[in-house]
Amino acid sequence: MTEDPETPPARAVFWDRDGTLMEEVDYCRDPAKVQAVPGAGNAINSLKAAGWLNILITNQSGIGRGYFSIADFEAVNAELIRQLGTPWDAIYFCPDAPPTPSPRRKPSGGMLEEACRDHRIDPKRSWLVGDKASDIACGKTFGCRTILVLTGYGEQHKNCGAHATVANAGQAAKLILEMSDP
């Protein structure tokens, strides 16, 4: 991306996928099992209309474990996009399986770093929304404000130190729009 000194850095919402925007399915490889969280598509569209980039940041250790392929991952994403009714501005995923050290796997910030570099994003003006402590730790370490959603594994991670906790992606988008500068 070519930098224009006249244009301020972009702001983004970094979204976790499984349990945040789609119902949790352990190691989902089948598009027929994709079910978008109610209101998630409207959430992304409302943020997009307000000028936010919507970027998917997702660990996909099922690839590294051999449970499914990158093509399966892409098919699941395509079905989620269809159900949400809106495309992503970018998708970053980490196929590495624990315990392999990886600078990209959340809670590490490698995927956020790549996205911020690729799209000239200011992390301090951005948010990360997820359903696990690892999502929240990733966002906070990189300087984003964070929201824990109580869908997916969120109930189990209530005390993870998120800046805010809300019921779902729709409420996350509403909070972001209320709390952010234009």
The catalytic position among 4, 18, 89, 118 is 18
Q: Are 129 and 145 in contact (CB under 8 A)?
A: no
Sequence-separated (6 or more) residues with CB below 8 Å from residue 63: 69, 70, 73, 93, 95, 97
Q: Is 118 a catalytic residue?
A: no
Which neighbouring-strand residues pair with 58? 93
Element at 173 (helix H, strand E): helix 169-179
CB half-sphere exposure, 116, CA atoms < 13 A: 16
Q: The sheet that has 12-15: what strands, in order across it?
A: 90-94, 53-59, 12-15, 127-130, 145-149, 164-166
Q: Is 16 a catalytic residue?
A: yes
The catalytic position among 16, 89, 131, 135 is 16
> Catalytic residue positions?
16, 18
